Structure 1
C-alpha cells in the first residue's frame, strides 16, 4: 500500500508552515489562506485550518534503511527527540526489522521517522529531507478495532500486516510501504502514551493498483 496523501487539521497554519518548511525543510506544494500542502517523497502532507483546539495525530515517514542515525542527528540538532525508553530515543522494533524515533511538531502531533530494513533502500549520500521516501503510517483511532479492520478488508482489500500485531484494541493493516495503525480511542500512542483521539482525517492511498480515499 502506498499512502499518497494525508489531510489533517491544525489550529495554527503559520506555525505549521514554519515547522514543516523551516525546520523539516519540506517543500511547499500548495498554499491558501486556509490550507497548506507539503511534498514529501511519494506523498503529500496537508493541513487545513480549524478553530477546534489541539487536533492531535500520529503519523510516520519512511527513511532509507541505513540512515537512522543521520536522520536522528538532523532532527536532534533542531528539536527534541522524544525518549522511547529510559536512556534511549531510538526504538528497535526487531519484530518488524525496523528502527524508529519520534518527535513532536508544533501541534504536538507525534511524528515518527522509521527505517524498514526489509525495503533495502540504502543510500550512500548524506541524509537530507529529500531522502524521505514518503508517509508510511497514519494512526486511525476507532471505537471498535476489529470491526474497523474488517471494513478496511472488505471495502479496500487491505490485509492485516503480516508482522502484526493483531489485537482487540490495536491492529496494523497494510504492508511495509504503507500502514494503517488502527487503535482504540483512548489507547496511548508510543512513546508518550498520550491517549489517541479522533479528529477529521482524509487519507488517499493506493492498494493493488486502485486509488481510494479513507475519510474519518
Structure 2
C-alpha cells in the first residue's frame, strides 16, 4: 500500500510546512510537502488539533546516519526508561526513532530491513534519502470494525497477522495504517492521546473511489 496524499489540518500551515522543510529537508510547494511518492497538504484547522502520528521510511542501511542527522536537528522522544532507538523483530524487522513535530505530532523515522537499498549511500545523511510517508495513525472507538472494513474494501490486512483490539498495523512495509483505540497513548512517551480529526488520507487500492469515514473524524480514500 502506498500513502499518496495526506490532507492535514494545522493551526499554522505555513509554520508547519517550514518545519518539514527546515528539519527534514523535504521539498515544499506552498504548504504542500513532498516525500517520495507521498504528499502532505497542510490546511487551516477548523478547530482544535491533537497529537497526530506520522512515520517516514528511510533506508535501513542508513538508519544510524539518519539518527545522527535527526538528533542534530530536533529533540528525540524517549520511552520511560530513557531509550530513544527502538528495534522490532518479527513481522516488523525495523528500527525507529521518534521526534516531536508541528501541533504536537509524534513523528518517526523508520528503517525497514524488508525494503533495504542494495546500494546505499555513504557519508552524512540528508533529507533527500527519506523515501515516503510510511505510517499514519488513525484512532477509532472500534478497531475491529475498522479492520474488517479495510480488509473487505481496501485489501489492507495486519502486518504479519499482528493485531489486537487496541492496535492494528494494516498494510505493508511501504505503507501502514496504524489503527489504534482512541484512548491508547502514543509510543514512546505514552503521554499523548491519538488524534486525526479532519484528516483525509488517499492510498493506493484496487478499487479507486472507495471511502471510509470514522466517527473520530478522519477519512480514507482509495485511488
Q: TM-score, with normalisation over the residues of structure 2?
A: 0.87
- The equivalent position to 1:145 in structure 2, one of 143, 146, 152, is 143
Report the counterpart of residue 19 of structure 1 in structure 2: 19
Deviation by residue 1:73-129 (Cα, 9 ceiling, x = unmatched): 111111101113524211111221100000011311000100011112251233211
**CA RMSD of the aligned region, Å?**
1.9
For residue 192 of structure 1, report the CA deviation from its aligned partner.
1.8
- The equivalent position to 1:178 in structure 2, one of 156, 160, 175, is 175
Report the counterpart of residue 132 of structure 1 in structure 2: 130
Where do 4+ consecutive residues of structure 1 move more than 6 Å? none
* 2:50–2:194 CA contact under 8 A, matched in 1: no
**More strand by proportion, 1 or 2?**
1
Q: Which runs of 5+ in 1 are unaligned?
A: none
Q: Which runs of 5+ in 2 are unaligned?
A: 219-223
Report the counterpart of residue 221 of structure 2 in structure 1: none
For residue 157 of structure 1, report the CA deviation from its aligned partner.
1.7
Q: Which moved more, 1:182-191 or 1:201-210?
A: 201-210
Deviation by residue 1:179-210 (Cα, 9 ceiling, x = unmatched): 11010111111112111234111111113585
* 1:60–1:111 CA contact under 8 A, matched in 2: yes
Q: Does 1:68 align with 2:58?
A: no
- The equivalent position to 1:103 in structure 2, one of 81, 99, 105, is 99
| Distance in structure 2 (CA, Å) of the matches to 1:21 and 1:59 | 16
Report the counterpart of residue 155 of structure 1 in structure 2: 153
Report the counterpart of residue 115 of structure 1 in structure 2: 111
Report the counterpart of residue 189 of structure 1 in structure 2: 186
Report the counterpart of residue 205 of structure 1 in structure 2: 203
* 2:138–2:195 CA contact under 8 A, matched in 1: no
Q: Which moved more, 1:205-214 or 1:100-109?
A: 205-214
For residue 25 of structure 1, report the CA deviation from its aligned partner.
1.5
For residue 50 of structure 1, report the CA deviation from its aligned partner.
1.5
* 1:142–1:198 CA contact under 8 A, matched in 2: no
